[in-house]
Structure 1
């Protein structure tokens, strides 16, 4: 018969091998009330408890997640996104994580993790044993993204135009002005970020976080370069888009719904 290891309670053995103490005598003086029935039941094993201060009952530190350092992966991801928007990473070209790691002065691991995120965002694709290829985008794909964004954002913006007070719209003025500054300066990366920030702030007024997240993903996908490496819209196009942001805010603050509807629809149609 197998024996329990030293220090191991017998209650951890299979039930058939556990040594039970004799049952207390019943009314008739026997240990069983009926033939084949045993009246003794063992107490259940105690559930592990955790002390309120995060210490185990024995005084040892309870397991915790490791302390996170400053996100190198996040910094690399931001740098890669900027390089993509500015055309430094050419569509169709394959880039390896070690080579990019040398460029950014980091190991290949955070680069690989960042590239995996970009693959989820539709900016690159994995090339086994080689690295990551920048996706070649077409004007048709950008038009499809613009159509989807319009289906999501236009109804929400029109609803918000009827419900959000003018003072709340006025608070978004700095975000709209940031898009104008980036567009006039020809800073495509800064414009991409400020453009998303403006739209994100507008949609956030709906209180629907899922909507904001989905719209943000679509917006980012629409900003990746075309197959020729050029930005989806040139400098003049960015300036026009930024001007629509400020004009839209003016109409929202004035509660001019007709102008709001015209500007919102034109903004997405023009971005196709």
Structure 2
């Protein structure tokens, strides 16, 4: 991303609007913006205008502006009068705390699904897991994060606890994975992506210990993925 505060560089990668089951551009753009924040496509301290971002989405500025206002309510960006929106800073300590809370919630919840989730419900998540692998192989970080979010929140939804899903969704939106680019360059992101398929296989096999091991390793990788914040 550029150093200029007025908006993203024309040479930068376009921000995709990924479908899923969203009903409006506003929601879809908000999802893509969250992914862009997580991957570092939108950098802390930078100010981005809604029209500049809208050009990258191929939509009008209105849904982008509305989506950014939603993100401002979540504390992910701050409105800058007459300029746009500034991406908020996130400290290393905050990132550590987010991962700690996620581990406390996600590991035991996912392990419990090994003996409780219907096989067909688990298999319904396999296309998303494969999409994560495909995005990793292509080096499409925003698509990777969006598919990863759909997979994990969809998995947690099988617990039947909607509030738990909302809490994890908020924590994921606040996280930063600036090291993903380095993993792509080193050819290591695809191996990390494969863990989603390994997790599904362990869940389908009702192998609780294997699920625990995969989830623990996976969240450990998440912490390492924001080590490089250049």
Q: TM-score, normalised by structure 2?
A: 0.71
Where does 1:16-27 land on structure 2 (aligned, <5 Å)?
A: none
- Are residues 184 and 122 of structure 1, via their aligned partners in 2, closer, same or farther at CA, if it must alter by over 3 Å? farther
| TM superposition shift of 1:232 | 8.1
Q: Distance in 2 between matches of 1:232 and 1:141?
A: 21
1:160 to 113, 126, 129: 113
- Are residues 183 and 140 of structure 1, via their aligned partners in 2, closer, same or farther at CA, if it must alter by over 3 Å? farther
- Establish whether residue 182 from structure 1 lines up as the match of residue 135 from structure 2: yes
Q: Distance in 2 between matches of 1:71 and 1:171?
A: 23
For residues 112-153 of structure 1, what are the alpha-carbon distances to aligned partners after superposition, in whole Å with 9 as ceiling and x for unaligned? 322111123332122345432112334433222111111111
Q: Which residue of 2 aligns with 1:106?
A: 60
Q: Which residue of 2 aligns with 1:263?
A: 214
| TM superposition shift of 1:176 | 1.3
Q: Which has the larger radius of gyration?
A: 1
Where does 1:10-159 land on structure 2 (aligned, <5 Å)?
A: 71-74=24-27, 76-78=29-31, 80-81=33-34, 83-85=36-38, 87-97=40-50, 100=53, 106-107=60-61, 109-159=62-112
Q: Distance in 1 between matches of 2:32 and 2:155?
A: 26
For residues 5-52 of structure 1, what are the alpha-carbon distances to aligned partners after superposition, in whole Å with 9 as ceiling and x for unaligned? xxxxxxxxxxxxxxxxxxxxxxxxxxxxxxxxxxxxxxxxxxxxxxxx
Q: TM-score, normalised by structure 1?
A: 0.62
Q: Which residue of 1 aligns with 2:19?
A: none
Unaligned segments of structure 1, at least 5 residues? 1-69
Q: Which residue of 1 aligns with 2:124?
A: 171
- Are residues 241 and 111 of structure 1, via their aligned partners in 2, closer, same or farther at CA, if it must alter by over 3 Å? same
Q: Distance in 2 between matches of 1:260 and 1:75?
A: 31
| TM superposition shift of 1:186 | 0.8
Would you say the 8 A contact 2:32–2:146 is kept in 1? no
Q: Distance in 2 between matches of 1:111 and 1:159?
A: 39
Aligned residue pairs, count:
198
Which of 254-263 and 192-201 deviates more? 254-263
RMSD: 2.9
Q: Distance in 2 between matches of 1:135 and 1:76?
A: 18
- Establish whether residue 212 from structure 1 lines up as the match of residue 161 from structure 2: no
- Are residues 74 and 91 of structure 1, via their aligned partners in 2, closer, same or farther at CA, if it must alter by over 3 Å? same
Would you say the 8 A contact 2:112–2:208 is kept in 1? no
For residues 132-187 of structure 1, what are the alpha-carbon distances to aligned partners after superposition, in whole Å with 9 as ceiling and x for unaligned? 21123344332221111111111211111122244443332222111111111111
* Larger RCO of the pair (alpha carbons < 8 Å, separation 6+): 2
Q: Distance in 2 between matches of 1:72 and 1:166?
A: 33
